[in-house]
C-alpha cells in the first residue's frame, strides 16, 4: 500500500511499531511525517527512523552514482548540476528535502515522544574540500551539519 507520510490512512493508535528506513530525507515535510508516525502509534509504541545522507553531508544531494564529487550541492549552482545530470539520468536527481541536521535536532527536541536511542553517524569524506574552499560552505548551518551524514533514532510515544 502506498500512502502520503504526512497523511497516513490509519486510525490513531493503530500500531505498536513504526519503522522508516532511508525515507525522512526525501519527505517534503518531515515534521508532519513524524507527527503522523506518532499519531498512529499506541501510547508507549516505538518509532524507529534511520536515514541519510542528510542534505548538507558530503553526498547529501543523492547524486553520487552520476556525480561523485562530495558536497557538489555547495560547490555548484543547482542549474549547473541539473544540466550535467540531465543526459545521465533523463530525470532530475531524487528529491531531497534540504533539512539540516539542526532542523532534525529541533524536530526530535519538540516531538511528543521520548528519545530511547539516538545516533549521528559522520562521513568524513570531502573534508579536504571544506578546507580548500571554505567560502563555498558559508551557507552551511554548522560544521556538524556538513559531517553528520546519517541519523538513527528510536522514539517512544508518550502516554
Exposed, middle or buried, 23 (CB in 10 Å: 0-12/13-18/19+)?
middle
pLDDT tens across 117-130, in order? 999 999 999 999 99
Which pLDDT does position 29 carry in this prediction?
96
Instruction: Examine the pLDDT at 93 and tell me if it is beyond 70.
Output: no
pLDDT tens across 23-49, in order? 999 999 999 999 999 999 999 999 999
Domain ranges of the chain: 15-157
Residue 85's pLDDT band, with cuts at 50, 70 and 90, is confident
Query: Degrees (nearest 5) of the Cα angle 31, 109, 27?
Result: 20
**Rounded distance between C-alpha atoms, residue 55 and residue 157, angstroms:** 27
CATH number of 15-157: 3.40.50.150
The mean per-residue pLDDT over the stretch 131-143 comes to 95
Amino acid at each position: 500500500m502506498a500512502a502520503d507520510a504526512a497523511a497516513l490512512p490509519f486510525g490513531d493508535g493503530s500500531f505498536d511499531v513504526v519503522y522508516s528506513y532511508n525515507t525522512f530525507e526525501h519527505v517534503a515535510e518531515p515534521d508532519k511525517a513524524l507527527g503522523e508516525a506518532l499519531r498512529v502509534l499506541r501510547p508507549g509504541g516505538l518509532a524507529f527512523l534511520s536515514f541519510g545522507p542528510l542534505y548538507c553531508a558530503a553526498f547529501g544531494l543523492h547524486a553520487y552514482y552520476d556525480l561523485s564529487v562530495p558536497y557538489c550541492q555547495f560547490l555548484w549552482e543547482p542549474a549547473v548540476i541539473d544540466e550535467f545530470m540531465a543526459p545521465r539520468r533523463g530525470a532530475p536527481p531524487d528529491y531531497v528535502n534540504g533539512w539540516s541536521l539542526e532542523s532534525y535536532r529541533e524536530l526530535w527536541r519538540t516531538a511528543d515522544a521520548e528519545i530511547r536511542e539516538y545516533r549521528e553517524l559522520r562521513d568524513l569524506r570531502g573534508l579536504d574540500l571544506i578546507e580548500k574552499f571554505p567560502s563555498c560552505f558559508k551557507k552551511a548551518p554548522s560544521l556538524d551539519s556538513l559531517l553528520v551524514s546519517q541519523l538513527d533514532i528510536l522514539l517512544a510515544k508518550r502516554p
